[in-house]
Chain A
């Protein structure tokens, strides 16, 4: 089945530690995105990548880093510089020039800082 997988589903981190969230897709999509969701708010864009080895900051990139070494994978690292990392993180992918421009979402990772 084609789709997007995120792991782990739940992640706990101690303050001061870096943590990496995994996002993999087998949809052959060129573009991938990371969003953060906080209670009572919509999704906010952290980083996005339209092609391998290239990525751009979104609206709230501070304290986060990404890499795009393979088309299928777009891991997100939450660094200790992120002041309030507890949130729900969603990964998405799309065909960047597709007519319908639909973004397909993974199931998400809930990160809790202890």
Chain B
């Protein structure tokens, strides 16, 4: 079974600064997918960024980028130029490449962007 660990329950960052959220996972599989989801106060789950394990290049989406270290089973999220709208719960998630395509979520990191 896969497990996903987010060791930072809460974090804060000043507006316009950079913050990194940590995520580690445990799996015996070689092919899989990793995701970061954002859940703002509205509680709507929004996909932030995805990474395929077979790709060595780190994914980037505008101000969001990841540091994917496959050997270390680490998948951190960096948010640059933080904005007030980035305040949300962030979840790291793991998906197998098999037919089931189930997501396993970490416990989340509550990020607060301070003005």
Q: B102 is contacted by which of A40, A58, A90, A107 (Cβ under 8 Å)?
A: A58
Whether B45 lies near A105 (C-beta < 8 A) is: yes
Interface bracket on A: 20 to 34
Q: A40 is contacted by which of B33, B35, B107 (Cβ under 8 Å)?
A: B107
Q: Is the interface of A mostly helix, strand, loop or mixed?
A: strand
Query: A94: CB under 8 A from chain B?
Result: yes
Q: A101 is contacted by which of B43, B46, B91, B95 (Cβ under 8 Å)?
A: B95
Whether B99 lies near A102 (C-beta < 8 A) is: no
Provide the bound-state CA to CA distance between A92 and B46, in Å. 11
**A48 / chain B contacts, CB cutoff of 8 Å:** 100, 102
Binding site for B on A (CB under 8 A): 31, 33, 40-45, 48, 50, 56, 58, 88, 90, 92, 94, 96, 100-103, 105, 107-108
